[in-house]
Amino acid sequence: MSWTDLAVNGRILVVDDAMENIQVLNGALEGEHEVLFAMSGEKALELARGQRPDLILLDAIMPGMDGYAVCDALRAGPDTRDIPVIFVTALKTPEDETRALAAGAADFISKPVNAAVVRARVRTHLTIKRQSDALRALTLTDGLTQVANRRAFDQRLEAEWRRCERAALPISLILVDVDHFKAYNDHYGHQAGDACLVRVGMALRRVAGRPQDLVARYGGEEFAILLPQLDAGGAEGLAMRLQAELALLEIEHATSPTSPWLTVSMGIAQMAPAGAAEPAALVEAADARLYLAKRAGRNCFRIGSAS
């Protein structure tokens, strides 16, 4: 089985301060899953945030940051709170199990571990997670355009903001507004308007193609493109590619005072998350640039760094 196949079957993070325990768990899982390991709570959190495992097997008793503290930190993070955790520990009393479950663990396995039991529990919780992920995706997807919805955008903005802040990386945002969309609906009808928005959403997804990019329907005929780890220059280049992509579509807009073809206006903002700054400041800055683009005659973009 290839490494890619193992990743598809599930990425498992094993956390234990004893290498012999890691080796036992790796031996039980390595033929079916991609296995990562950490020997401290701090390293576990670093890997959980950076590698996004599907499941974590976590030792309760470790020097320094123990498993309970790790579990608390995972639950507090917007990008790690949904990762299921199975405690794997030598502790065996009902009180120990209750404490693990109260900390947010999905399950509890006692040492010494049985490889068959570990594999069965892992499969069960990966199945549950995939079902939960599928349901969550439905609640976070715009029903018309099939891009992310406003709720998904708000969640990802918060998570990516914190991630870029930790890594001292920039984050950019493009707000995209379809020009004179009410006139388009009035002239061509709402069904044609819906089809138009679908085509615009697809064009945005083709242009914003990095794994970390997010295209969302922000509201009505307005879209948002969230661009973590991209500076203003990179965002400007993407906006120019989007203009070219929409021009190729040649969506007729006979009632537009701007162009005989469908166009968009865009506001672009970039920030380096730090200090007391909050994600809302990035949205406000992009919205201010979008307003300037509309005042400039539409079918253009305005760009700037948020303070």
Residue 96 lies inside a defined structural domain of this protein? yes
Residue 117 lies inside a defined structural domain of this protein? yes
Last residue of a domain, one of 111, 139, 167: 139
Cα 297 to Cα 246, 270, 301, distances in angstroms: 18, 23, 10
Q: Which ranges of 77-189 does DSSP label H, i.e. alpha helix? A: 94-102, 115-139, 150-167, 181-188
Q: What is the pTM of this model?
A: 0.68
Predicted local distance difference test score (pLDDT) of residue 67: 92
Q: What is the CATH number of the domain that holds 56?
A: 3.40.50.2300
Same domain, 90 and 62: yes
Across residues 249-278, what is the average pLDDT?
Answer: 94
- 72 pairs with which residues across the strands? none
Residue 144 lies inside a defined structural domain of this protein? no
Predicted local distance difference test score (pLDDT) of residue 138: 83
Same domain, 73 and 165: no
Predicted local distance difference test score (pLDDT) of residue 307: 54
Active site residue 95: no
Residue 276 lies inside a defined structural domain of this protein? yes
Predicted local distance difference test score (pLDDT) of residue 277: 85
Provide the residue type at 275 as one letter: G
Give the domain extent around 17: 3-139
Same domain, 173 and 296: yes
Q: What is the CATH number of the domain that holds 170?
A: 3.30.70.270
Q: Chain-wide mean pLDDT for the chain? A: 91
Same domain, 31 and 95: yes
Across residues 263-290, what is the average pLDDT?
Answer: 94
Same domain, 88 and 175: no
Q: Write down the catalytic residue from 221, 222, 236, 278.
A: 221
Last residue of a domain, one of 85, 108, 139: 139
Taking a C-beta distance cutoff of 8 angstroms, is the pair 267, 287 a contact?
yes
